[in-house]
Amino acid sequence: MKRTTLSLIAAATALAAVTGFAALTAPEEPAAAAAGPAPQAARLPVERTSLLCPAPTSSEVGETLTTAYTPPGTAPAAGGDGTAAKSAAVLTPAPNPGPAGGAGADDKKKDDKKAKEPKAPAPVTAPGKPVSTKTDGPVAHGLTGTATGALAPGWTVQQTTLVPAGSARGLLGVACSAPDTDFWFPGASTAKGRADYIHLTNPDDTLAVADIELYGPEGKLKTSIPEGVQVPPRATVPVLLGPLLAEGSQEILTAHVTTRSGRVGAVLGAAADGLGSDWLAASADPSPSAVLPGIPADATGVRLMALAPGESDANLKIQLVTPSGKIVPAAGDSLHVKAGMTASIDLPELNRGAAGSLLLTPADPKKPVPVVAALRVLRGKGEAQETAFVPAAAPVTARATLADNRAQGTTLVLSAPDAAAQVKVTASAGTEGGTPATRTVDLKAGTTTVLADLAPKDVKGSFALTVETVSGGPVHGSRMLAVTEEGVPMFTIQNLVDDRGTVRVPTARQNLGVLD
């Protein structure tokens, strides 16, 4: 008998022995389970959460409040040894090697030399207790952070900056985001008097390379960074959009950020002479329908910007979801979006004194085309105007958390555009004390509900808001912070985004078929 034949027989005998042993030692499965449908995936608390914050401001008079919070009630199960994962929630400065983008970046480099590292908030020590830290003056560094164990589920960080004077004056707010590889920003601009930076933050120990594509009303534009933007490990790089274009300025753009390698956090900072400044967070993923929640009741200007990323044009029906139902804006009931081009429409006198949310749906339900969208919203008049942005928002699937709410000037907007829903809204204790308070809110189908009396009676300092979907839906929402400085109605709006407190984990069971 040949040696090869002997080897094959030996291998077959060994495999049979292993299979037999596995069959003898495997736990028995109930016959019903074997014959029934496969078990559904369970939702379990996450054990680790990462967040990234941009560099807050280069203004000498800026005041930045960074607030961190983990909602109570969700903690990872103990491990196999019976002990829970170690809990920690820490933010650390992300160095800034200097702006990218060529011409125009040199002045900001000079400003950044004066800037200081941000003060990271004291680590969150227990769920349900927000912490915050204030930093005065220019801050050129971003933040990277990680929460583990009982502090990971729903860990949320808000960065709010007040700039009372100067060309970039305004109230700027951004919820620090999870790292990703794909971001859409309808509403960017390189027009005269506008300074837009995309801040890229790398959370990892290896180099990340990001591409930035710009789409105007005529389509994709040629940029000066064909090789991508290099973002060093655990660093923040601001990219000025103006110098990227060789074809002159563009009033309306959509910026698309993707990574060739690694992952980043991305957010767009926009400042316009005479109109203030704010952050624009990424739009929800491309979808045939979009909800842009939380247009203030006293908005004096609203501009809708949208892009169809695919190869088909999109015809969108425009509706405003108000507290009393859906209405068609008098200024425009539809928007045609050509494939790969940024379309826009101004919607003056949209609200008529009532807060609402903009709803975009396919004009022909049989021809759905995915789009991304955002709003630029103005409050005030003349020299006292201020800007904020509202990107398309994904629905609150389980729970959303927003840190840094104040007893005065906080408004929560909840929209149920399709079906009735019930949500639970919890206001936490404050950074300086107080008792949490919870209420249940019923949302009527096709309406928007506005809540302004959110703070617990004894709250001290800023507090967090948690919104949980109890039934019905989908529910979309946002939170507005507002202050008045020197007669300017400053404000900023952040969407409700799922706080990633739980993750779907598929149920596994033994299958000896893999040994066949």
Q: Which domains does the chain have, with CATH numbers?
A: 44-285+392-503 (no CATH), 290-391 (2.60.290.11)
Distance CA 115, CA 109 (A): 10
- Tell me, what's the pLDDT at 410? 98
Strands (E), 23-180: 42-45, 48-53, 63-69, 88-94, 131-136, 142-148, 156-163, 170-175
The C-alpha atoms of residue 384 and residue 276 are separated, in whole angstroms, by 9
Q: How confident is the model at residue 17 (pLDDT cuts 50, 70, 90)?
A: very low
Rounded-to-integer distance, Cα 278 and Cα 269, Å: 6
Close Cβ partners of 378 (under 8 Å, ≥ 6 residues apart): 275, 299, 300, 301, 302, 385, 386, 387
What is the mean predicted confidence (pLDDT) over 476-491? 96
Q: How confident is the model at residue 458 (pLDDT cuts 50, 70, 90)?
A: very high
The tens digit of pLDDT for each residue in 24-50 reads: 333 444 444 444 555 566 778 899 999
pLDDT at 36: 52
Mean pLDDT on 79-104: 68
Q: How far apart are CA 351 and CA 322, in angstroms?
A: 8
Q: Which residues of 295-332 are buried (b: 16+ CB within 10 A; e: fewer)?
A: bbbebbbbbbbbbbbeeeebebbbbbbbeeebeebeee
> What integer pLDDT is reported at residue 414 of this predicted model?
98
pLDDT of residue 75: 67
pTM score:
0.87
Report the pLDDT averaged over residues 107-117: 52
Once rounded to an integer, what is the mean pLDDT over residues 421-448? 97
Binned at pLDDT 50, 70 and 90, residue 85 comes out as low
What does R_g of the chain's alpha carbons equal in angstroms? 25
pLDDT on residue 77: 56
Q: How far apart are CA 96 and CA 108, in angstroms?
A: 12
Give the integer Cα–Cα distance in Å for 451 and 483: 17
Q: How many CB atoms lie within 10 A of CB 108?
A: 20
Q: Is the pLDDT of residue 116 over 90?
A: no
Per-residue pLDDT, averaged over 370-396, amounts to 97
Average pLDDT (151-155) is: 96
At 325-345, the pLDDT tens digits run 999 998 889 999 999 999 999
CA distance 151 to 88: 6
